[in-house]
């Protein structure tokens, strides 16, 4: 025989506390992942962005390497541009 469960105020407040804890935990994990993956994201978008701006101005840009240290500006190694 199944007995219906009655939700009391203490179990309800525990459920709310657990839900809030899980929401905060997910936010912290997402923020941590965003911080740790930021250099990879910058590397993926740095070169195409420079190439696109150079193309708009009528230049051809070539970049050998992009360094993206954590919380530092991008540095382009052997950045050359020329008019076609």
Separation of alpha carbons 63 and 2, rounded Å: 70
Of 84, 6, 72, 62, nearest to 42 by C-alpha is: 72
Whole-prediction pTM: 0.50
Query: Domain residues of the chain, as ranges?
Result: 10-82
Instruction: List pLDDT tens digits, range 20-79.
Output: 999 999 999 999 998 888 777 776 777 787 788 888 888 887 777 777 777 777 777 776
């Amino acid at each position: 025989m199944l007995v219906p469960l009655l939700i009391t105020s203490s179990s309800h407040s525990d459920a709310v506390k657990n839900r809030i804890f899980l929401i905060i935990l997910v936010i912290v994990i997402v923020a941590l992942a965003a911080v740790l993956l930021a250099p990879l994201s910058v590397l993926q978008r740095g070169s195409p962005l420079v190439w696109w701006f150079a193309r708009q101005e009528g230049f051809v840009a070539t970049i050998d390497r992009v360094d993206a240290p954590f919380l530092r500006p991008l540095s382009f190694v052997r950045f050359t541009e020329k008019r076609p």
